[in-house]
Structure 1
Amino acid sequence: MSLLENKVAVVSGAGSGIGRSIAITYAQEGARVVVSDINEEHANETVKLIQENGGEAFAVKSDASKAEENKSLVEAVVAKYGRLDIACNNAGIGGPAKLTGDYEPEEWDRVIALNLNGVFYACKYQLQQMEKNGGGSIINIASIHGQVAAPNSPAYTASKHAVVGLTKNIAAEYAQKNIRCNAVGPGYIETPLLSANLSQEMQDAIAAKSPINRLGKVQEIADLVAFLSSDKSTFTTGSYIIADGGYTAI
C-alpha cells in the first residue's frame, strides 16, 4: 500500500518548486491532492502533471496571506472530498535583501503577512477541520533560517523562526486530539527561482557551504514531507527537521 492511500491533502504554494514536488509526491503516494497557489495557471499545470501520471487532484486559486481565503480553501477541500487529512503549508516569499535598519515597514509587513500570518491562518482552519475528522497531520515549511541567521533578510529569518515556534505550540496543544504538526527546514534547494536569480558561480558558492557540496533537490524535501505526513511517523510531532546537506552542522 502507498504511504498516503485514501488520504486527502492540500498543499499551498504548489504551483512550482518545492510545493509542486510535494503535491506530485503526495499523489504518487495515493493521496487526493488539492493544489493551492495564488498563480492559477501554475496550479493548473501541477494538477495536469498529477493527472497525467494517474493521480487525482484539483486546483484552487488562493492568496495564502489572507485569513478568509485560507478558510475558503479548507471549505473547498471538504466540499470536494468530505475531509482533510494532510496539510502542507509551503507558500512563502523571501522579501528584499536589505539590512534590518534599511527595511521599510511595508516590506516587513508583506513578508510577515505571508510567511507567518498566512501559516497561522492556514493552521487555524485546518485544525478546526481535522478535529472534526478525528485527526490529521500538518507540515509547515520553514527553512534553515528558522534556526540560523540570513543576513540582509530580517523579515524572512524572523518569520521562519516564528513558524517553528508556532509549529511546536500546535503540536503541544493538539497531540491528544490525534493531530500532529511538524516543521521542515530546507536548506538551499535547486529550483527554477534559484536558478533564475543566481549565477552558476553563486550557486556553486552556496553549495560549497554544506558538507555534501551541492544544492538540495526538490524531491529530497518532498520525500521527507511525505514521510512526516504519513502513518510511518505517528510518534513524531513538534519536530523541526532540517534537510540542508549539513549546512547548519558546521
Structure 2
Amino acid sequence: MQLAGRVALVTGAGGGIGRATARLFADRGARVIATDIDEAGLTETADGYGDAMVACPADATSADDAARAVALAGERFGALHLLVNNVGGSRPGKTVTDFALDEWDFWIRLNLTSTFLMCRAAIPAIAAAGGGAIVNVASGAGVTGMGRNPAYVAAKGGVISLTRSLAIDHAAQGIRANAIAPGPILTPLMKRNRSEPEIAFMSKLSLAGRLGKPEEIASTAAFLCSDDGAYVNGELINVGGGRGGPI
C-alpha cells in the first residue's frame, strides 16, 4: 500500500506502460483517473478495479481534455496528488529534411506539448492538495539520440528539460518532478515500430539479455511518487537494462 491515500492521474493508460502504471498504482493503494484516446483499451485497463479506478476518455494534446481530467479527479476523489505523463509515440524512418512542418508539429505536440498541457492543468490542483509528485515518461532516445526519428528525439529531450524546470519552479509548492527514460520496452508501440529481428537484436544489446517490461517502468514511477522517493527531485532515471549507445 505504498501509495495509499493518494489520488493519481495517469495518461496513456489504454495500454503499454500507461496501463501497467495505472494498475500498479491502484494495486498499491492509490485511486486513479486513467486517461487515453483509446476508449476500448482504457475500459480494459480499468476492468476489475471498481471504484479505485475511473476511466476518463481524453486527448492529452487537448487543453480542454486535460482540464476535464484534472477536474474529474476532484469530483470523484476530492483531490489530486500525483500525475504520470505517459502519452507518446513515433514512426521512425525519416530525417529532418523529410519532414513536412505539419508532421513535425504533430509529433512534437504528441510527445512534448501533451506533457506541458497536463502539467499546466494539474499543478494547481496538486498544490491545493498540499503537494505531490509528477513523473514524466521520456525515453532513452531523448538522451542518446536515435537514427531517423528526429521529432521524437527532440520532443523526449524536451520532456527531460521541462521536468527539470518543473522541479525548480514548483518545489516550494511541495511538488516534486522527475523523468524516467525507458530503454527498449516490449510494448504494443515497440511491436508496431520494430520487426522481430530488430527486437531480437535489441534484446542482445541489453545487459539483462531481454527487453524491459512495462511493469518495470511502472514500479519506478511508483517509487518516485511515494514517500520512498521523497528526496528525489529534478532527476532523470534511466531504466534500460544496461546498454551502450543509441538503437
Shorter-chain TM-score category? Answer: over 0.9
Structure 1 residue 248, shift from structure 2 partner: 4.3
Q: Deviation string for 1:199-230 (max 9, x for gaps)?
A: 32211111222222210111111111110011
Match of 1:120 among 116, 124, 127: 116
3-state SS of 1:147 partner: helix
Match of 1:212 among 208, 214, 231: 208
Does residue 97 in structure 1 map to residue 93 in structure 2? yes
Runs of 4+ in 1 over 4 A off after TM superposition: none
Q: Say which is worse superposed, 199-208 or 16-25, in terms of deviation.
A: 199-208
Q: Distance in 1 between matches of 2:199 and 2:110?
A: 26
Amino acid at match of 2:112: L
Q: Distance in 2 between matches of 1:177 and 1:47?
A: 31
Which residue in the other structure is 1:64 paired with? 60
Q: Say which is worse superposed, 172-181 or 204-213, in terms of deviation.
A: 204-213
* TM-score, with length taken from structure 1: 0.94
Structure 1 residue 198, shift from structure 2 partner: 3.0
**How many residues in Structure 1 have an aligned counterpart in Structure 2?**
246
Structure 1 residue 174, shift from structure 2 partner: 1.1
Q: Distance in 2 between matches of 1:231 and 1:100?
A: 42
Structure 1 residue 117, shift from structure 2 partner: 0.8
Which residue in the other structure is 1:30 paired with? 29
Q: Is the 8 A contact 2:95 2:148 kept in 1?
A: yes
Structure 1 residue 163, shift from structure 2 partner: 0.4
Identity %: 37
Q: Deviation string for 1:62-90 (max 9, x for gaps)?
A: 11111121111101111111100111000
Q: Is the 8 A contact 2:144 2:245 kept in 1?
A: no
Structure 1 unaligned spans of 5+: none
Q: Distance in 2 between matches of 1:177 and 1:193?
A: 35
* TM-score, with length taken from structure 2: 0.95
Does residue 148 in structure 1 map to residue 144 in structure 2? yes
Q: Say which is worse superposed, 233-242 or 186-195, in terms of deviation.
A: 186-195
Does residue 163 in structure 1 map to residue 140 in structure 2? no
Which residue in the other structure is 2:239 paired with? 243
